Structure 1
Amino acid sequence: MKTNNGVIAPSKQWINFFGNIQIKPRGICKPYVSSTSGSIYFRETVSQYQELIANAAREDRKIRAYGGSWSLSESAVCNDYMVNTIETNNINVGLSADDSVAKHPDQLVLTQCGARIRDLHDRLGNKGLALPTTGASEGQTIAGAVSTGTHGSAFNVGAMSDYVVAIHLLTASGSVWLERANDPISTQKLRDELGVSQFLQDDELFAAALVSFGSFGIIHAFVLRCVPQYKLRVFAADWKYEDLEANIMKPDFPNLKQKLKLASDLGELFHFEVIVNPYTQHAYLRYMDKVPHDTDPRSPGPDKWSMTGLLSALNVLSDGVHGLPQRELGRVIGKNIRDMLPLDQRSFVDLPQNIFGPTKKRIDMDRAVVDGYSTEIGLHPSDLGRFFHIAFDVAKKTSFNGAYALRYVKQTRATLGWTLFEPVTAVIETPMTATQGAKDALRELWRRLRESKIPHTFHWGQCLPVRPIAAEDARLGDAELAAARNQVLAQYQHTGRLARWKAARKKLLPDESARRMFSNKLTEALDLGVYE
């Protein structure tokens, strides 16, 4: 395929950041970045992406955008054309009254798809603003994080998709601007500067497009509603899981300070998480309150708790784990978790990006220090006891380097947002170094959850039971493969969300050829790609 941006040559093998997905697409393109700025820059970028989409349409090929390559699922890849968005990263902090009809336009941010979360934090901080919440790592791009349902643990905030207020989508039929009918954002002037050809104020369509993992078109930009800058004060404590279970199954956040005897000087609880050693069943609390942004920082440094930080700490166990007695495995995992938490000090204070994010040097690397796996499961808090009973039993039967990390997220408004339980979703992440034991543990955990009938969902950007590109599906019989597909979609089917999402996508992309273009093997395996 030739475009004015150059020639997209046959690509070499593409590998994601954590090393669990490899694919050789027909070609990879990184759009040319102009030296111009402002509206001219945006229009030039939009024109380049539209040309790539038009060429893919002429060839009847699929096209998929990717950014930081941090997704552990196959949502961002396809066998045809993949577009690297990492340099499509312009960030405009604060809209003017000429650009937005919203209240407080100075707290709105227009960001292109390839801006990394870390860069957003830095740019916002320079203007006295912050993201309302963020994931546990910050190497993702904003489009990848939002589109897969990435979240934090600010239990009153929701996932990252819940502070998106406008979406700029590029499809085969044009340049589409989406916002809610009940929350108008843009002016005609802003839309003209972006070359918008179709303006839609549609609550149902907007909610469906938020978490759509590339299925509605290529996302060019978002408008985010941000908040005044703040810092977080971090506390930590260690417990036995069994002593916590009743409180985590019925989280009474306003009264947890008293019930769990948390730090006496803790203010209003903002963030609450529990990290569980699967082999010792020891639990480590990390909880936070907000403090003014001018509070003097007292930080132990980066990588104190992020997926990349934990995987790096556990790297010492990457070889020979199968031969390590489980008691010793539990001891070493526990030591590495304790080293990452401020258990030896009263508290520390820092900006969110310095608490959750890995170092900038690590973010800028093409690959993680150590390859890893992780699945992330959402369920109602009342089912946590049953979940951990299964999870501890899986640990007894397998050997892996990792932990279970529990957080809580307010119910999302995104149609296929996986944090859908009311009023909050309990989310359990399972970061592990990439060993055969970790693969075995994930398969066993997924199987046991299917059999348990516990209602649950999966993070769209982490390892899923359905993995067509990795050829893992070939290991399953037809019945087990059908069960795995149903496992991923069951809660969306039962709540009517799946039907609403598919109808909204068909409304935006009425032609079957357009839906095929923005599908891939994963979405087709889940019947989210091309359908009647």
Structure 2
Amino acid sequence: MATTTIFEKQEWDTLHKNGPFPLKRMYVTRLEGRASIPSSTDRYNDAAVEIQRIIKDCADQNEGFRAYGSRWSMSSIAHQKDNVHQNNLMNLDLNIFPQDLHALSSYNAGNLFFFECGNTIKEISQKLEEHGKSLKTTGASNGQTIAGCISTGVHGSALNVGSVQDYIVGLNIITGPSPADNVYLERHTKPGLTNAFAEKINAKVIRNDELFNAALVGLGSFGFIHGIVLEAEDLYLLKRYVRKINKNLAMKLSNTMDFKNSEFKIAGETDSQGNPLTPYHFKVFINPYTDDSEYVVEAMYKKPYQLPYPDPFTTIEKSIYKDLIYLLISISEKFPNSIPWFIKRLEKSVLPNVNEETIGTLYETFWDAAYQGPAFAMSIGVDHSDSEKALNILTKMTKKDGPIPGIFAMRFVKQSEATLAFTKFPITCMIEIDGIIWSGSNKLISMEEYSTRMLEVLKNNNIPFTIHWGKISDWAFPDLATHMFGNKVEQWKALRGSLLSKKMQQVFSNKFLDTLKLSDIQEDSDPDLIASLL
């Protein structure tokens, strides 16, 4: 049987040292070995029984329980003051065959894969490559677990793809301690697998678009996500260019996303009429303290997979434009270990010139995180048509109320169907501020004050916004969830309250949800809300 080790704790922290947070116990579950249980499906089901045993123990003690993956989130979303479960050792994958496809499924069985919750993006990418397949998109790196990615809405900058949750086909969620508390969710308008497949993992099938979309970005509160069915695609290459372009052009592209009629043209990246192609990925880097006439942009174009191609790592591993925090840390290393001194230098630093080109798979392009030390990251989502206005407001506030030891970037993501996805706009511009953790003083605004000011200035200027669930923010900002998502909040809570018993609603809550008023116990569940519609 799967075995669990319990560690008595006083505190727990994120990968980037954004805590510490109080904790009583940490659970780590190891799967039974193949020698004892040869079948991967049987090992998977055995692990489910063990997780349900832990849930029962926590519930019997009137304590909370929360799963976490790689501790990548900088907010406290993955924290629970009583009990947390580390998922990293739960990394099975189950085969899906053509006979496992639902009769009404429009999917290609060769593109569907079942992964246990603890598989990281890196592990999944390696397993998919063995089949000649790739993920459709990832975040900026590959260390997050798949369950953590979808629960918090991890995104890249894929203009026509969306976020990680947007290629998920099915969710296997453990909703309580009883054998019946094991469900397999899909959309009823786009079924994936047969009832027989769900029966193999001892799960009850519910095909219901609204329930699926609510649970998709479920913030860890719809139960224990045990398994995920995702849709991959054939391996492809990404041709990556990093260039400096005119600031006004960068802003026009951000506001319009009209690449075809723009002056942004890269040799070889045009259509048969010579018009610029829309890139797969587009990102803009901004130093808010300098009035640069040019911004650094990163554009990637999708190419058919073919061998050979040049080794991308020789360039990528040296690139300071791998991600925003690595760029900031690279700049900071040049200066003494003093936040005020660093900010003074940042105010005079122009982003380094660059003319990079690489080609590689998605897995190779978004490689291991270059920096995993203490850091902060804030990320605001706005409609791309508001991107320039929002950026100007935030940079103006940063210079007036700051300065802070951080710099900006913008990424652009296709709209998600998930109920509480922060990528809710037709094309969402994620305005990111990454940097070095700092403390406030009489000369320096605190990180907490700065987080609040960001939300205040956007609200005061009537710019609709969302916040990345896994990043730092003022999560206690008045009526924040409702301001961001309107009546979808009550819909989400009603669906959660209908799927989970009142006891399990308490077990799968935490302070993060309490702060956002998302954990209210729903006294009257509605079975019609969670009925299978196919």
Residue of 249, 258, 263 corresponding to 1:252: 258
Change (3 A) 1:6 1:139: closer
- CA deviation map 1:297-326 (0-9, x unaligned): 342133641355335424525831213464
Which position in structure 2 is the counterpart of 1:497? 488
Change (3 A) 1:376 1:149: same
Whole-angstrom CA distance in 1 between matches of 2:383 and 2:336: 33
Residue of 465, 469, 473 corresponding to 1:456: 465
For the Cα contact (< 8 Å) 1:177–1:191, is it kept in 2? yes
Unmatched segments (≥5 aa) in structure 1 = 363-367, 467-480
Which position in structure 1 is the counterpart of 2:296? 284
Residue of 262, 270, 280 corresponding to 2:265: 262
Residue of 316, 323, 326 corresponding to 1:306: 323
Whole-angstrom CA distance in 2 between matches of 1:49 and 1:314: 45
Give 1:104-253 correspondences, 5 Å limit: 104-172=108-176, 173=178, 174-196=181-203, 198-253=204-259
Any idea what SS the aligned residue of 1:121 has? Answer: helix
Matched pairs, number: 490
Any idea what SS the aligned residue of 1:89 has? Answer: coil
Which position in structure 2 is the counterpart of 1:446? 455
Change (3 A) 1:87 1:311: farther
Residue of 399, 406, 410 corresponding to 2:403: 399
Which position in structure 1 is the counterpart of 2:305? 293
Comparing 6-15 with 202-211, greater Cα deviation is found at: 6-15
Any idea what SS the aligned residue of 2:398 has? Answer: helix
Change (3 A) 1:448 1:33: same
For the Cα contact (< 8 Å) 1:241–1:276, is it kept in 2? no
Whole-angstrom CA distance in 2 between matches of 1:6 and 1:117: 24
Whole-angstrom CA distance in 2 between matches of 1:150 and 1:44: 29
Which position in structure 1 is the counterpart of 2:529? none
Deviation at 1:491, TM superposition (A): 2.7
Unmatched segments (≥5 aa) in structure 2 = 271-276, 523-534
Which position in structure 1 is the counterpart of 2:346? 329
Which position in structure 1 is the counterpart of 2:99? 98
For the Cα contact (< 8 Å) 2:325–2:435, is it kept in 1? no
Alpha carbon RMSD of aligned pairs, Å? 2.2
For the Cα contact (< 8 Å) 2:66–2:78, is it kept in 1? yes
Read off the aligned partner of 2:96 and give its amino acid letter.
L
TM-score (norm 1): 0.87
Deviation at 1:410, TM superposition (A): 1.0
Whole-angstrom CA distance in 2 between matches of 1:272 and 1:262: 13
Read off the aligned partner of 1:96 and give its amino acid letter.
F
For the Cα contact (< 8 Å) 1:314–1:401, is it kept in 2? no
Deviation at 1:357, TM superposition (A): 2.4
For the Cα contact (< 8 Å) 1:333–1:401, is it kept in 2? no
Whole-angstrom CA distance in 2 between matches of 1:116 and 1:136: 13
Change (3 A) 1:4 1:214: same
- CA deviation map 1:273-294 (0-9, x unaligned): 1111111244111111111222
Give 1:406-425 correspondences, 5 Å limit: 406-422=410-426, 424-425=427-428
Comparing 232-241 with 175-184, greater Cα deviation is found at: 232-241
Deviation at 1:46, TM superposition (A): 0.8
Whole-angstrom CA distance in 1 between matches of 2:23 and 2:343: 42
Any idea what SS the aligned residue of 1:20 has? Answer: coil
- CA deviation map 1:334-372 (0-9, x unaligned): 23xx5xxxx334x2211222222226xx6xxxxx54311
